[in-house]
């Protein structure tokens, strides 16, 4: 009986390993094919003026992020026709630390159709005829609500404040969405298009020396900081420095290795929606249609009672995933589902993120989407190098076929030798993929390209020698399984916007902070629970 179980587990491990190898191979091929050179110039900017789609860019901003000015300014340097762009910045209040940065941007670019919306001044939420509960608790959607309602044209491009984009990205996003091709050709358009995200840890390039010769970071460039006046010391010892600021390296490693390979592969195969949400483009008319129960039969129950348009998603935590998922599932004849704009990167500079902050971030998002994509979350640990290589090594040293044909000993010693060889090969491939993406070979560099976005092959300031790269790689791989175990199997709470919530198996989220009126809030499936556990579709709690 035990022997049969071992054989079955070995077969399952071998099949899983083969699946992971195939998926990674697809992702690696796509990365090397599309990120080795600058993509061709977009078609849409050069179309006759009356055929160029109007694009409304909406950028939510909160606090001071590393490189915030450069990231926000990148939309003003697009090659897309200026008169076909509307740029809306959104902040929660005029007291937000990002507000002066936005005002400075608007003053520096007066010839653009650009403005800033302040949530606390939104008449729909705070006016005489408005109400604060007209939009659900999701702070990002509340921030963007007015910009969406007042958008010009049909194309909406939500773009996070902490990402930088190259000059031709707007054009290529529109090309992909509409199916524009050179020489006047057209292909099938998409419902939704997006970019591959990439993090660049900028502790090295954004640090300076104080009067005592100690390395420090300005508070304005520390990830998540809102204090531009203070300085943050960078510890001198390697261990302390790694603990206090190493989270950015771990996030950088994750997005340039495991995430990039699987993100590219899943979006190539197209078997399910796979969206991060840093830079997405879709049609307002489509979103209004799929959130209208009169025009979309898949909206039933509570979902049919939610608002239309972008506000429909204000009762969800993973709003970007839910938007992409609803568009994916809705029937819109003549359109493909999702399209990744290959070759272009949404680059996020990061500085000062600690290792605990990185762990908390990964735990939060694993728990937040655990019940939305349960099957994918449950097997996610198996795509990491240490676990996957163990599965395969166990199979190779347990199945009689490999012992009989290849002479592989069926011993623990042989297993660990094979495991070490597999992990080493995995690391080498990750190193190659990481260097390819961070080389920046697909980025069009001009006078507006900041150092963090230039890449190592274009004069970028951040270079990773093998020793420091290996430490970050090893740290991320070692942490992957404990983070997954803690997030998926050992808890259901998430910390979000300074408050704590518990994610239920039915995808509702319960506020855990005691003594608050908003003890139960709507976040995942639009249904709330009162203190007496009775369902309600009207109670809405506040997140901010």
Strand duo 85-91 + 55-60: pairing: parallel
Q: Is 320 a catalytic residue?
A: yes
CB contact at 8 A, 164 and 70: yes
Of 132, 141, 140, 96, the residue nearest 541 (C-alpha): 132
Sheet holding 231-233, edge to edge: 207-209, 215-218, 231-233
Structure tokens at 123: 């008449």
Q: Which helix (H) or strand (E) holds 205?
A: helix 203-206
CB contact at 8 A, 324 and 338: yes
**CA 516, CA 520: separation in Å to the nearest integer?**
9
Angle at 270 between CA 326 and CA 489, to 5 degrees: 70
In 3-state terms, what secondary structure has residue 400? helix
Beta bridge partners of 281: 193
Of 100, 127, 105, the residue nearest 115 (C-alpha): 105
* From 122, 160, 175, 320, the catalytic residue: 320
**CA 539, CA 245: separation in Å to the nearest integer?**
40
Of 469, 461, 476, the residue nearest 435 (C-alpha): 469
**CA 297, CA 96: separation in Å to the nearest integer?**
41
Catalytic residue numbers read 320
């Amino acid at each position: 009986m035990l022997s049969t179980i071992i054989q079955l587990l070995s077969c399952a491990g071998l099949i899983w390993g083969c699946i992971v190898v195939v998926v990674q191979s697809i992702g690696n091929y796509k990365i090397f094919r599309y990120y080795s050179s600058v993509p061709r110039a977009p078609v849409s900017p050069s179309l006759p003026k009356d055929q160029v789609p109007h694009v409304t860019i909406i950028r939510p901003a909160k606090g001071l992020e590393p490189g915030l000015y450069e990231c926000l300014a990148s939309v003003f340097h697009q090659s897309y026709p200026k008169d076909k762009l509307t740029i809306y910045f959104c902040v929660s209040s005029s007291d937000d630390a990002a507000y002066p940065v936005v005002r400075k941007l608007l003053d520096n670019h007066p010839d653009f159709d650009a403005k800033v919306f302040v949530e606390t001044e939104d008449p729909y939420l705070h006016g005489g005829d408005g109400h604060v509960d007209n939009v659900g608790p999701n702070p990002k959607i509340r921030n963007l609500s007015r910009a969406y309602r007042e958008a010009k044209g049909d194309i909406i491009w939500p773009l996070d404040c902490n990402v930088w984009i190259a000059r031709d990205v707007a054009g290529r996003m529109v090309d992909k969405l509409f199916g524009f091709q050179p020489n006047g050709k057209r292909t099938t358009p998409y419902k939704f298009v997006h970019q591959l995200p990439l993090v660049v840890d900028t502790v090295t390039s954004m640090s300076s020396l104080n009067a005592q010769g100690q390395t420090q970071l300005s508070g304005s460039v520390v990830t998540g900081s809102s204090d531009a006046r203070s300085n943050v010391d960078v510890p001198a010892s390697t261990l302390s420095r790694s603990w206090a600021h190493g989270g950015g390296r771990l996030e950088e490693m994750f997005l340039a290795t495991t995430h990039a390979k699987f993100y590219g592969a899943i979006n190539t195969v197209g078997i399910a929606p796979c969206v991060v949400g840093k830079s997405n483009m879709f049609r307002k008319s489509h979103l209004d249609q799929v959130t209208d129960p009169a025009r979309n039969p898949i909206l039933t129950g509570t979902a049919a009672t939610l608002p239309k348009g972008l506000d429909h998603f204000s009762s969800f935590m993973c709003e970007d995933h839910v938007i992409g998922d609803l568009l994916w599932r809705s029937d819109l004849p003549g359109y493909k589902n999702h399209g990744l704009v290959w070759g272009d990167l949404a680059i996020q500079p990061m500085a000062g993120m600690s290792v605990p902050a990185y762990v908390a971030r990964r735990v939060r998002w694993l728990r937040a989407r655990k019940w939305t994509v349960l099957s994918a979350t449950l097997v996610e640990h198996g795509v990491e190098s240490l676990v996957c290589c163990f599965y395969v090594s166990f199979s190779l040293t347990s199945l009689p076929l490999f012992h009989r044909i290849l002479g592989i000993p069926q011993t623990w010693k042989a297993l660990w030798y094979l495991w070490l060889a597999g992990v080493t090969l995995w690391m080498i491939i990750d190193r190659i993929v990481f260097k390819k993406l961070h080389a920046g070979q697909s980025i069009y560099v001009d006078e507006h390209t900041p150092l963090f976005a230039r890449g190592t092959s274009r004069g970028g300031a951040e270079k990773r020698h093998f020793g420091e790269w290996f430490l970050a790689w090893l740290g991320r791989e070692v942490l992957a399984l404990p983070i997954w175990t803690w997030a998926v199997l050992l808890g259901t709470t998430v910390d979000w916007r300074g408050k704590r919530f518990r994610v239920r198996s039915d995808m509702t989220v319960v506020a855990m902070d005691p003594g608050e009126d908003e003890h139960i809030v709507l976040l995942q499936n639009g249904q709330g629970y009162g203190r007496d556990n009775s369902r309600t579709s009207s109670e809405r709690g506040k997140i901010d």
